[in-house]
Amino acid sequence: MPHGNLQTLSAFLSKPPKQTTVLPVPELPEVEVLVRHLRPWLKNKTIGDVSVYRARVLSPTTVRTFKKKLRGASFRGVSRRGKYLLFEIRCLGERRTQVLLGHLGMTGRMYLLPANHPLPKHAAVVMNLGRNKFVFEDTRYFGRLTFDLRPIRRLGAEPFDEEFTPEKFLEVLKHSRQPIKVRLLAQSIVAGLGNIYASEALFHAKLSPRIPARRLTAAQATGLWHAIRQVLSEAIQRGITIPLDYAGLGSKDGLFYFGREPGVIGSYEERLCVYARAGQPCVNCHTAIKRLIQVGRSTFYCPSCQRGNRGKKQFDAV
């Protein structure tokens, strides 16, 4: 494909791509893997003292209510909805369980530490579980740990839900003229895609991120539906094969930290086809990957592989 190579070459000559490090911002797969790790560790554990270092992450729940509900409570289960973690809690002296909602924001981490281990700089909430403590750390404090469940009511379909069919997907896409990438990020059609997997899914579906959602054909919607599930399930599959590791200790003594991979296997960046690859050759056609800004967010795509509707307007004329 000489045409593609020429483009790649000129792209490199005009502006060498600056390599941005991909931060492990948690999206659905990362949350899913975290939930699977946490579940056995938290199950049936009883909470002792609770420390809140950053009240903002509980909002609108107050520190007072938060502590009152959690002290003496026990974990019954952990699950996920979109990028949210759902901790099923049984409060002291109560028969019914309650849901504590967690969200990692962009920099949130949840893990266990030995009771006497020093806390990280940005520990937001810590629950004492006896010999261990459950830590919610969040550098930017955009995350949440709250009893306010309203956010999950606004979420769109769960990508692996049986109810989420290509037909349903097409139907909801019809309601918007916003670019498809923007709709995927909004969580209201499909829950769990973030900036990375939204770009990746569109690449695998060979769709321009700029196509208005309602202009996707049934075939295109079905292709995207498959791509979304494929991209997410591959990431989950990969995540669960990574051994637990606590950053800084590198041991597997029951502590863990998710988001960092041991160097042995291909890195986080290496498995992504377009995300943060502006200027690099497309894995299919070797055309330089482009970056565009949509609603203030970066979108990465191959201008050659990812086009608009055939016979209609080209959204990415080369």
Partner DNA sequence: CACCATGTTCCTTG
Partner DNA sequence: CCAAGGAACATGGT
DSSP 255-311: --B-S---TTSPPTGGG-SSTT-TTSBPTTT-PBPEEEEETTEEEEE-TTTSB--TT
Residue 187 Cβ, how far from DNA at the closest point, in Å? 5
What is each CA distance from 159 to 19, 59, 95, 140, 169, in whole angstroms? 31, 28, 32, 28, 10
Short-list 111, 159, 148, 102, CA closest to 133: 111
Residues tagged active-site: 26-27, 83, 297
Q: Burial, 18: exposed, middle or buried (Cβ in 10 Å; 0-12, 13-18, 19+)? A: exposed
Quick check: 192 and 157 in contact, CB under 8 A? no
- CB nearer to DNA: give 94 or 148: 148
- CB nearer to DNA: give 82 or 281: 82
Q: Burial, 129: exposed, middle or buried (Cβ in 10 Å; 0-12, 13-18, 19+)? A: buried
Residue 8 Cβ, how far from DNA at the closest point, in Å? 22
Short-list 201, 207, 218, CA closest to 166: 218
User: How far is the C-alpha of 73 from the C-alpha of 48, rounded, in Å?
Assistant: 8
Cα within 13 Å of Cα(112), Cβ side: 23
Residue 297 Cβ, how far from DNA at the closest point, in Å? 5
- CB nearer to DNA: give 196 or 236: 196
- CB nearer to DNA: give 15 or 252: 15
- CB nearer to DNA: give 70 or 182: 182
Residue 46 Cβ, how far from DNA at the closest point, in Å? 29
- If one counts every other C-beta atom within 10 angstroms of the C-beta of residue 43, the result is 13
Residue 92 Cβ, how far from DNA at the closest point, in Å? 28
- Provide the binding-site residues for DNA, judged by CB under 7 A: 18, 20-21, 23, 25, 27, 56, 82-84, 103, 105-106, 121-122, 139-142, 150-151, 154, 175-178, 182, 185, 187, 194-196, 293, 295-298
- CB nearer to DNA: give 31 or 73: 31
User: How far is the C-alpha of 124 from the C-alpha of 107, rounded, in Å?
Assistant: 12
How far is Cα of residue 220 from the mean position of the Cα atoms in its chain?
24
Short-list 178, 189, 1, 155, CA closest to 80: 155
